Amino acid sequence: MSDIMLPPAPESGPGLNDRRHQAFPVLNDAQFAILSSYGQRRSYKADELLFREGDRHVPMFVLRSGRVAVERNTIAGPHQLATHGPGAFTGEVGTLAGRGAIATARAVEDTEVIAIDEEALRQLVVAEADLSELIMRAFILRRVALIEDKCGGTILIGSSHSSDTLRLREFLGRNGQPVAYFDLDLHEGGEMLLQRFGAAATDIPVLISSSGAVYRNPSNRAAADAVGLSPDRMDGKRYDVVVAGAGPAGLAAAVYAASEGLSVAVLDLKAPGGQAGTSSKIENYFGFPTGISGQALAGRGLSQARKFGAEVAVPVEVMRLECDEAPENTEDAAHLRLQMDNGEHIRTRALIIATGARYRKPDLPGLERYEGRGVYYGASFMEATLCARKEVIVVGGGNSAGQAAVFLAAHASHVHVMVRGKGLAASMSHYLIQRLHAAHNVTIHPETSIVELVGEEALQRVRCQRAEEAVRDYPIEHVFLFLGAAPNTGWLNDCIALDGKGFVLTGPDLPAGQWPLPRSPYFLETSRPGIFAVGDVRSGSVKRVATAVGEGAAAIQALHSVLAS
């Protein structure tokens, strides 16, 4: 059994305290017998470590006898999370992928376990349906509990006025990485904490790993390395399929490819979920009548992909598609070579382009200076906290802008929605328009655009103009931009055909003479056999999550025919 010490439940909604038995189940004899066949027996003496916080490739340990305490380091000393007894097992979602452990496990007394390594664990969760459900649910709930536990593990010290602090908080948060955050402007003792680790306020954001290593304003990759989030070295590896981009389309492709036995790598610079991952609530996605947040949807897709053995590598950016070596008339894409931002190269038989699109930036002087200091391209709980009880501006007329405005209306004193068109009906779902009109603190400004941003170190005022009217000043310090879409296709190196706006052409939309084979291209196939494009990056795609997921699945079906020929 397990003695469980979870953090307090949230103020609203079902808390993890109500699901202790799911987070820490105790196996019956039949379940234990099945698990035993997937691992090896090990013995540990009292006070001996099974694994330490930060260790990679840690097995799942199933207890035969004895007791194991699971704890995390904190600024006040070790913080115990749970004590496992016979029939319990260790691990959480990172265990499936061999990522850094986010807790330490120590034998309380002489203990015997079954150690199941990550490869055997993935075989287990695919082959044993009932056990898979039990283990996956426990793993997910444990990660949620660790995220809510604000007193242990990795420490981040920063300021709400620091754009790099916001960058790191978003990166770690969107990747589901537990972190204890201390804001110098809000938390007493923040300066003393900096001094304790030999840092100063000018160094923020400061990241302190569980081992006590100090990182001053680290890049996302350095932060990922520090907390064990980044992948192992991939240089020289070969895959059946590489998926560039971990949005809904890319994750769906990875799930279907990996579940059908293909070796899969998914590469993404920021986090699973793409633009959809920043959405506070998606209410029109089939099967979720009460809605689901983009991050929750992405987290489920990530867990599925890793369950089937896909390598989801974050933060890794594809810098260049190298396809010059390819013979022109071939179905075999084994020659495809991808160069990544860390200098590594990988090869693949097939490529799924799912790099999506990014919001366009308006031509405003000094825009970059205010990014993260009053100008944002996503509206999560983090940004909502920054603008609580203040007026904000949301620019854009699409669903992303509508979802952001509805979400922010619950936190801000007033939300101004500014659109260049005469209204929202042409570009926004009806249910969102109704929601905006019903909100008492939302004003829609048609035919209005921002003409100037004003402020010293951070945004202080915004100047806007409606049609031909006089320019008006708004003393508003927070602006959220959701302006159209520009495709992330610069890395394709002219290897495939694009439309005039840079989106990838596929199937029947390919220009005459751009297809080299006697057979016709598949609907989602690009001008190069074996390379497919799905989701927002594809020319003519429907910008909806459901469509992106469907395209990811459909591309794999066609891909099987290509690889088999």
Would you list the domain boundaries of the chain? 2-148, 155-227, 238-358+486-564, 367-481
- Of 81 and 477, which is predicted with more confidence? 477
Task: Indicate whether 17 pLDDT > 90.
Answer: no
CATH number for region 155-227: 3.40.30.10
Task: Indicate whether 258 pLDDT > 80.
Answer: yes
Length of the chain: 565
Task: Indicate whether 248 pLDDT > 80.
Answer: yes
pLDDT in tens, 108-139: 999 999 999 999 999 999 999 999 999 999 99
Which of 169-188 are b and which e, b meaning 16 or more Cβ less than 10 Å from the residue's Cβ? bbbbbbbbbbbbbbbbeeee
pTM for this model (two decimals): 0.91
pLDDT in tens, 428-475: 999 999 999 999 999 999 999 999 999 998 999 999 999 889 999 999
Task: Indicate whether 7 pLDDT > 60.
Answer: no
Distances (CA, A) of 320 to 114, 254, 274, 493, 501: 44, 21, 20, 6, 19
Query: What is the pLDDT at residue 491?
Result: 96
331-340, 405-414, 514-523, 556-565: range with lowest mean pLDDT: 331-340
| CA 243 from centre of chain | 15
Distances (CA, A) of 268 to 335, 377, 456: 22, 18, 34
Query: What is the pLDDT at residue 226?
Result: 95
Distances (CA, A) of 258 to 66, 348, 400, 549, 553: 37, 14, 30, 15, 11
Give counts: helices (H), strands (E), the chain: 15, 29
CATH superfamily of the 2-148 domain: Jelly Rolls (2.60.120.10)
Fold of 238-358+486-564: FAD/NAD(P)-binding domain (3.50.50)
Query: What is the pLDDT at residue 146?
Result: 86
Query: What is the pLDDT at residue 473?
Result: 95
Fold of 367-481: FAD/NAD(P)-binding domain (3.50.50)
CA 196 – CA 190 distance, rounded (Å) = 10
User: CA dihedral in degrees (93, 95, 96, 97; nearest 10)?
Assistant: 100
Task: Indicate whether 267 pLDDT > 90.
Answer: yes
Nearest to 505 by CA among 513, 516, 497: 497
Region of 507 please: left (phi>0), alpha (psi -120 to 50) or beta. left
Task: Indicate whether 399 pLDDT > 70.
Answer: yes
Nearest to 419 by CA among 449, 379, 462, 461: 449
Fold agreement (238-358+486-564, 367-481)? yes
